[in-house]
Amino acid sequence: MIESGEESQVAIAFFLGAGVMALGGVVEILYGVKAEKAELEDIAKPLTAVDAEEGTDRRPDEEAAAEPSPQRRGRDLGAEDSARRREQAHRYRLGPGRTSYSPGMAVSAPITEQEFSREVQRIEAALAEHGPTERRELARLVGARYWGPGRFPAALREAVLSGRARRLDRTHFGPAERPG
């Protein structure tokens, strides 16, 4: 479509692709299987078990593979089944599930407490020098655009919580009140 040089042909291809993706989402909602954090054996019966039920012969290495692992042998399957049924009751809600897990990805790593003392000091000094200031202006005064994503709101929240700045209204902040 792109090589045709006609914009209308490319637009039609994009709309067709978007329609197929939307249709795929609807099919997932209607027929999808809740499978996150579940073992494969809990989702579908292993082929080796199907072969055993049908009475087909297997080689010894296939039989060893069909044996349950030591972890699965000692499990209480009754509690597991009831937990799975409770989870499936929530299956047809739109949007992502309640849990997510991505081993090895940085976004899944636990969030650690961050130190904002340097940023809080800069906010406190700017408010002391300029007096009550609007939030955007305060961000400009302290150079928050160079701090990294999310650090200015977190540092401003920390400054207010620690009493080194005070919130005047929704968008304005002022220096901390001095006793006396």
How far apart are alpha carbons 71 and 19 in whole angstroms? Answer: 44
DSSP state for residue 52 in the 8-state scheme: H
Give per-residue pLDDT as tens, 45-73: 777 777 777 765 555 555 555 555 555 55
3-class secondary-structure state, position 15 = helix
Cα–Cα distances (Å) from 1 to 16, 120, 145, in that order, read: 12, 55, 42
Q: Does the structure show a pLDDT above 60 at 135?
A: yes
How far apart are alpha carbons 135 and 141 in whole angstroms? Answer: 10
Q: Does the structure show a pLDDT above 90 at 174?
A: yes
Reported pTM: 0.40
Q: What is the DSSP string of 119-139?
A: HHHHHHHHHHHH-SEEHHHHH
CB-side neighbour CA atoms (13 Å) of 158:
18
CATH 1.10.1060 applies to domain 117-175 = no
- Domain-by-domain residue ranges, the chain? 2-31, 40-92+99-107, 117-175
Cα–Cα distances (Å) from 81 to 12, 19, 34, 41, in that order, read: 47, 37, 13, 13
Residue whose C-alpha is closest to residue 156's, from 177, 132, 135, 133 = 135
Using pLDDT thresholds of 50, 70 and 90, give the confidence band for residue 129. very high
Cα-to-chain-centroid distance, residue 100: 6
Give per-residue pLDDT as tens, 79-91: 666 666 666 655 5
